């Protein structure tokens, strides 16, 4: 008996490491809908957050780090880690993959096969 398993967490890791397309070719057909749905959710969330952070960052005062910090903490504390990363010239995608999905349940798709031949 073979057991195939796929999880949201593993899909998130695949997207974060740019391996989703490679993995997609190896996934049994019965998992593709789950995998594709999770990839779409991850990519849409990532892009939405990137747009929102860029829009807010454009409005933030950047004369001094202190001015920036005061503004961020009083205006958009909820996305402060992204904003400070941008200020420091860092890519925010790794932070998005960590923070945006930290409270999301780890769904799993499992299929058992009795045919081992």
Residue 3 has pLDDT above 50, yes or no: no
Residue 80: phi and psi, rounded to 5, are -60, -40
Grade residue 70 by pLDDT with cuts at 50, 70 and 90: very high
What b-and-e string marks burial along 51-70, b requiring 16 or more CB atoms within 10 Å of the CB?
eebeebbeebeeeeeeebbe
CA distance 27 to 25: 6
* Contact present, 61 and 67 (Cβ < 8 Å): yes
CA distance 72 to 88: 14
pTM: 0.84
Question: Percent of the chain having pLDDT more than 70?
Answer: 90
Q: What mean pLDDT, rounded, does the chain reach?
A: 90
Helix (H, G, I), strand (E, B) or coil at 68: helix
Residue 1 has pLDDT above 50, yes or no: no
Residue 82 has pLDDT above 90, yes or no: yes
């Amino acid at each position: 008996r073979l057991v195939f398993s796929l999880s949201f967490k593993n899909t998130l890791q695949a997207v974060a490491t740019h391996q989703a397309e490679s993995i997609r070719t190896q996934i049994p057909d019965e998992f593709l809908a789950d995998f594709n749905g999770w990839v779409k959710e991850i990519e849409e969330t990532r892009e939405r957050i990137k747009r929102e952070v860029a829009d807010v960052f454009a409005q933030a005062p950047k004369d001094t780090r202190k001015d920036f910090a005061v503004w961020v903490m009083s205006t958009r504390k909820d996305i402060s880690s992204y904003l400070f990363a941008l200020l420091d010239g860092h890519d925010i995608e790794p932070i998005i993959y960590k923070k945006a999905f930290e409270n999301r349940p780890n769904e799993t798709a499992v299929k058992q096969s009795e045919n081992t031949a």
